[in-house]
Amino acid sequence: MPLAFASAIFNKAARAPIMFQPTLDQVRRGLRIVSGFTLLLVGVIMLVTPGPGWLTILLGLSLLAAEFVWARRLMNRIKREGDRIKEAVLGVETDEDHETPPRTQQRTKESL
């Protein structure tokens, strides 16, 4: 009997870190969501008061985009509109994929 009891205690202790992991992930997710909404609210307040309002809003949206699809879509729209405005003002074309910058053709000795 004592051997079975010790085995049961060992099995329960071995599984304890596995059971604790989802709780830690839930806490991180909750902190990310609360921080995102807090930065979003503070950014909206900073639009009226002095401070980097748009930057704070973008930081809050980037935190929320990790958890919510609507925030990810809004971030992608803001990026597209920012590129469109930059292209209109500066006359610079940007890559739509945001993965690599546009490349210019370089001359090599073989092409001359």
pLDDT tens string 38-50? 999 999 999 999 9
Mean pLDDT across the chain:
78
Domain boundaries, the chain: 2-90
Q: How far is CA 66 from CA 54, 69, 75, in A?
A: 19, 8, 11
Tokens of 110: 């073989």
Q: pTM, whole model, 2 decimals?
A: 0.58
Tokens of 28: 């991180």
